[in-house]
Amino acid sequence: MQEKTGPPQFGPYTPGVARKPNPSKGQRPPQGTRLLTLRKAAGLTQTELADFLDVPQGNIAFWEWSEKPPRSDLLPKMAKALRVDVADLIAAAASAPLAKKAGPVGEVQRVFEEVRKLPRSQQRKIIETVDALVTQYRRKAS
């Protein structure tokens, strides 16, 4: 009895096979390269940025390999996460490397950098607590 041979059958995702959303060009477009550079300069993974923006991680990968930019309603929040202006976010790739913002890291920023590493549910609890304290302070100040 002879076994039937043919091309391997692949499902929608085959583990171990690298995929790129833009295989025809073989390289990232300037917009994608810019986003990748900004994300890495901010010290974020695709998953962390996706969690912050409340979008699937695949969207971040797509934007880093695509000429299509993120939706305009996400740009302000993305710029905040990457610690840049919206104009810096959508600018074409610059020839000079990106400069990090100068200045010491404040204690609050340092603590929130640590909070960023916590699970999302714990982050929400901390945000609620801080928000309540800020609101209470504003009421007393006015």
Q: SS in 3 state form for the chain?
A: CCCCCCCCCCCCCCCCCCCCCCCCCCCCCHHHHHHHHHHHHCCCCHHHHHHHHCCCHHHHHHHHHCCCCCCHHHHHHHHHHHCCCHHHHHCCCCCCCCCCCCCCCCHHHHHHHHHCCCCHHHHHHHHHHHHHHHHHHHHHHC
Domain of 78? 22-94
pLDDT tens, 36-69?
A: 888 888 888 999 999 999 999 999 999 888 878 8
Residues 115 and 142 occupy one common structural domain: yes
- When divided into structural domains, the chain yields a total of 2
pLDDT for residue 26: 67
Residues 111 and 86 occupy one common structural domain: no
Contact at 8 Å (CB) between 46 and 21? Answer: no
Comparing 19-23, 25-29, 41-45, 107-111, which segment has the lowest mean pLDDT?
A: 19-23
Residues 34 and 69 occupy one common structural domain: yes
Q: Tokens for 141, please give them.
A: 């100040």
pTM above 0.85, yes or no: no
Residues 44 and 73 occupy one common structural domain: yes
Residues 83 and 133 occupy one common structural domain: no
Angle at CA of residue 73, ends 67 and 76, nearest 5°: 90
Residues 52 and 81 occupy one common structural domain: yes
pLDDT tens, 75-126?
A: 899 988 888 888 877 764 443 345 555 555 577 778 888 888 888 889 889 8
